[in-house]
């Protein structure tokens, strides 16, 4: 997969996939945006990353699930995370990041180390770091150690056994938050969590 970085968080992309699933897996992008009361360019980051992960294809302004995308929306939480984990590992950015974690002492990287890796891309540092960590945590590729302010490779991604339970990520400069779903224009509202739960696709970022 090409070198890219997520411009959305997991909740935003998963919310879009929930919506696409209600349209029987194929719909004009403009109509998806209308359903969310958003402009097209406001849903493009989530749509583009779903395409990077090979979950959807966009042809002539119409988004359609791939076979993998259909498998994801029809799977359990464990299955969905496994699919996202495997697809993230195929991207140049996450492959590079995981190699750095695997070779680092204690299989950990400081916030500064991560920032240096991101600086090699064209990504805006603060936004990229926040989204990268959110995606890595969602897919159980690594966890964030808030006490030492570093990323730690998890057992599933090939490193040693994880330490204690999940830590809360930072919210200061370059920090990480559990992102909310796409906001409606002018209201700040997000995709209702009840709707996501009903579709079986609530995003867990812990």
Instruction: Flag whether pLDDT at 181 surpasses 80.
Output: no
Instruction: Flag whether pLDDT at 104 surpasses 60.
Output: yes
φ, ψ of residue 198 in degrees (nearest 5): -65, -35
* pLDDT (0 to 100) of residue 116: 83
φ, ψ of residue 164 in degrees (nearest 5): -70, 180
Q: Positive or negative, the Cα torsion across 5, 201, 161, 159?
A: negative
- Residue, of 64 and 205, whose pLDDT is higher: 64
Instruction: Flag whether pLDDT at 14 surpasses 80.
Output: yes
Instruction: Flag whether pLDDT at 169 surpasses 50.
Output: no
Instruction: Flag whether pLDDT at 117 surpasses 50.
Output: yes
Instruction: Flag whether pLDDT at 12 surpasses 60.
Output: yes
- Residue, of 205 and 110, whose pLDDT is higher: 110
Please determine whether the domains at 1-76 and 91-157 fall in the same fold group of CATH.
yes
Give the residue extent of every domain in the chain: 1-76, 91-157
- Quick: pLDDT tens for 76-95: 999 999 999 999 999 988 99
Look up the pTM and report it. 0.72
What's the rounded mean pLDDT across residues 139-150? 88
- Residue, of 84 and 111, whose pLDDT is higher: 84
CATH fold of 1-76, please?
Arc Repressor Mutant, subunit A (1.10.10)
Instruction: Flag whether pLDDT at 206 surpasses 80.
Output: no
- C-alpha to C-alpha distance for 93 and 95, rounded to whole angstroms: 6
CATH number for the domain formed by residue range(s) 91-157: 1.10.10.10
Radius of gyration of the chain (CA): 17
């Amino acid at each position: 997969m090409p070198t890219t970085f997520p411009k959305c968080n997991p909740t935003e992309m998963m919310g879009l996939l929930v919506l696409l699933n209600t349209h029987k897996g194929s719909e004009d992008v403009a109509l998806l945006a209308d359903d969310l009361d958003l402009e097209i360019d406001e849903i493009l980051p989530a749509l583009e990353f779903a395409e990077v992960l090979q979950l959807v294809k966009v042809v002539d302004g119409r988004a359609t699930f791939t076979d993998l995308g259909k498998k994801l929306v029809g799977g359990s939480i464990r299955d969905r995370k496994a699919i996202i984990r495997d697809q993230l590992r195929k991207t140049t950015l996450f492959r590079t990041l995981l190699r750095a974690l695997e070779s680092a002492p204690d299989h950990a990287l400081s916030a500064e180390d991560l920032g240096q890796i991101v600086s090699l891309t064209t990504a805006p540092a603060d936004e990229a770091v926040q989204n990268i960590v959110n995606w890595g945590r969602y897919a159980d590729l690594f966890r964030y150690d808030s006490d030492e302010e570093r990323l730690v490779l998890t057992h599933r991604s090939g490193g040693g056994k994880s330490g204690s339970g999940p830590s809360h990520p930072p919210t200061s400069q370059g920090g990480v938050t559990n992102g909310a779903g796409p906001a409606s224009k002018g209201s700040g509202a997000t995709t209702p969590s009840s709707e996501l739960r009903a579709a079986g696709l609530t995003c867990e970022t812990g």
